[in-house]
Structure 1
Amino acid sequence: MISDEQIKWAKETYRLGMRVKLIKMDDDQAPPIGTEGTVRGVDDIGSVMVGWDNGSGLSVLFGKDEIEIIS
């Protein structure tokens, strides 16, 4: 389980409108590695909500998936 401090960190790090790139996601529905997207926010369980450029809206799970900030 993710701690309150980790959720706070995610909310402070991944800001609305920030651009990110997918590095790793273990999900059959995952966008291709390298897909870029725009952060829509961080939910109360620490998942980063991303609008991927390919149309996907799959969230990034804290501690499981990996994204890189690109701007």
Structure 2
Amino acid sequence: MNFPNRETVEELRRTYPEGTLVELVRMNDDYAPPPGTRGTVLYVDDIGTVHVRWSTGSSLGIAYGEDECKIVQKSK
């Protein structure tokens, strides 16, 4: 796994603030919700994982450099 530097983590936090609505594009995890599932960003941790509360009830995070999501509606 490739960990981001501090500047990249800060950019991720600006891009995915708490409350942002995202949609899963792909996730490399056997327990991942299906692509197209939407969820709300909870926070971005120090290794750049975007933690999400998915509509399926799952709370798996989007791992930096491994998984992909897109913003549906940015938090204000």
Q: Shorter chain as normaliser: what TM range?
A: over 0.9
Deviations 1:2-52 (A, max 9, x none): 111111111110011010000010100100000000000101111000000
Corresponding residue number in structure 2 for 1:19: 21
Between the aligned residues of both structures, percent identity stands at: 45
Q: Does 1:32 align with 2:34?
A: yes
Cα RMSD of the aligned pairs, angstroms, is 0.6
Q: What TM-score do you get using the length of structure 1 for normalisation?
A: 0.96
Q: Does 1:48 align with 2:50?
A: yes
Which runs of 5 or more residues in structure 2 are unaligned?
A: none
Aligned mates of 2:48, 2:19 — CA distance in 1: 17
Aligned mates of 1:33, 1:64 — CA distance in 2: 14
Which runs of 5 or more residues in structure 1 are unaligned?
A: none
Question: SS of the counterpart of 1:70?
Answer: strand
Corresponding residue number in structure 2 for 1:2: 4
| Structure 1 runs (4+) greater than 4 angstroms displaced | none
Q: What TM-score do you get using the length of structure 2 for normalisation?
A: 0.90
